[in-house]
Amino acid sequence: MSSISSAASIPVLQHDAIALKQWIKQQALALGFADCVIAKPDAQAEMPRFEEYLKRGYHADMHYLEENLEKRADPKLLVPGTKSIICVRMNYLVETPKPRYVPNEPNSAIIARYARGRDYHKIMRGRLKTLASKIKEKVGEFESRPFADSAPIFEKSLAESAGMGWTGKHTLLIHKKSGSFFVLGELFTSLDLPFDEPATAHCGSCSACIDICPTQAIVEPYMLDARRCIAYLTIEYKGIIAEELRAGIGNRIFGCDDCQLICPWNSFAQKASISDFNPRHGLNDISLLEIWQWDELTFLTHTEGSPIRRTGYQSFKRNIAIGLGNAPYSGLIVEQLIQAKSQHDDIVNVHIDWAIEQQLLKQLASQQK
């Protein structure tokens, strides 16, 4: 495990540390980060909520979340010698959505906006390494380690503790002037830097995200049941999706943005400053039937360097099958589903059978009118 030697920490006077912190923030913004704050390496405050989350089983089969709890609470155990954590965020919207509006596009394959371009994990880590190099050019050698959703870190809690926003009732971080369409990254450092102060929360009595959730996954404010969450079901989960949840999934084939789209704070959502988040292969406007035609080679080609790779080909086709079952009746959809049955595993075929049944029920209903 990497460690940060205490001998490598930078002893600076307080006024120098303040100036260095401001200079680091300027460099971060110049690299395309939308914000940069300095957090204390301490996330103990998040533990009671997280332990309750685990106790209720809301983490589904993500059993890795049960591990390394001590390191999650105390980042200094993850990277010994850490004295400050530089937290950054990157906006990923390419187009600003209409305020408080979830579009109804039943024949479209809906992919979460963060996943339509390059995999942000690589973008984030690369730019954090560049930031570390720039700091070393200024102050000399120090120890650092970048992270982008790649270790047992309470990244939202750390960012929140340093004023990057507050945790909304949907459990995502919200910034008063930028909404929530952004991703987070961290640079653990041996630098002695002054910590930023937390922001205040501004959800108030609003329950829009809870009310809009298609599968009622936000079981109470600030508590999300992954077993019902479309993002978990369509990305992380590899099994048979419960039949009672399939209608709610609709045509969302990778992730879900509904709780963000409806949030009033996203009236202030900012667009990405770099081109890496631009959609590839028309993934911002592609039909269910068109993407259903992808064979495995096409899937692998079109998702190279994309977070969509994470779901795997068979689970991806499972998700599309659900979308086709939820689409308006089409004889072509039924034909395409039947033809594909021999090409997929048993799990996908369960969803294909369901989709065919849903399509035929809609046909029958239209004939009886």
Q: What is the pLDDT of residues 353-366, one digit of tens each?
A: 999 999 999 999 98
Name the average pLDDT for the chain.
95
| Burial class for 6, CB neighbours closer than 10 Å (0-12, 13-18, 19+) | exposed
Residue 59 has pLDDT above 90, yes or no: yes
Confidence of residue 1 (pLDDT cuts 50, 70, 90): very low
| Structural domain that includes position 226 | 17-286
Looking at the fold, whether 87 and 124 belong to one and the same domain comes out as yes
Confirm whether residue 173 is marked as ligand binding: yes
Domain boundary among 229, 260, 286: 286
Looking at the fold, whether 57 and 174 belong to one and the same domain comes out as yes
Average pLDDT of span 134-143: 95
Looking at the fold, whether 271 and 292 belong to one and the same domain comes out as no
pLDDT at 20: 96
Looking at the fold, whether 282 and 294 belong to one and the same domain comes out as no
Residues 301-359: tens digit of each pLDDT: 999 999 999 999 999 999 999 999 999 999 999 999 999 999 999 999 999 999 999 99
Looking at the fold, whether 259 and 352 belong to one and the same domain comes out as no
Bridge partner residues of 185 (DSSP): 88
Closest to 112 (Cα-Cα) out of 247, 273, 306, 269: 306
Residue 61 designated active-site: no
Confirm whether residue 72 is marked as ligand binding: yes
Confirm whether residue 271 is marked as ligand binding: no
Residue 55 has pLDDT above 50, yes or no: yes
Beta-carbon contacts of residue 227 (< 8 Å; ≥ 6 apart): 57, 58, 60, 217
Looking at the fold, whether 257 and 352 belong to one and the same domain comes out as no
Residue 5 has pLDDT above 50, yes or no: no
Looking at the fold, whether 184 and 291 belong to one and the same domain comes out as no
- On whether residue 2 sits in a domain, the answer given is no
As for how many domains the chain has, the answer is 2
AA identity, residue 43: A
Q: Which of 42, 61, 74, 149 is catalytic?
A: 149
Residue 59 in contact with residue 66, Cβ under 8 Å?
yes
Domain boundary among 252, 286, 320: 286
pLDDT at 14: 58
Confirm whether residue 87 is marked as ligand binding: no
Using CA atoms, how far apart are residues 110 and 284, in angstroms rounded to an integer?
Answer: 8
Average pLDDT of span 206-233: 98
The rounded percent of the chain whose pLDDT value lies above 90 is 94
- On whether residue 5 sits in a domain, the answer given is no
Confirm whether residue 257 is marked as ligand binding: yes
Residue 196 has pLDDT above 90, yes or no: yes
Confirm whether residue 213 is marked as ligand binding: yes
Is the alpha carbon torsion for 25, 30, 35, 36 positive or negative? Answer: negative
Which residues of the chain form beta strands (DSSP E)?
35-39, 84-91, 110-111, 144-147, 166-167, 173-174, 182-189, 218-220, 223-224, 252-254
Domain boundary among 256, 286, 316: 286
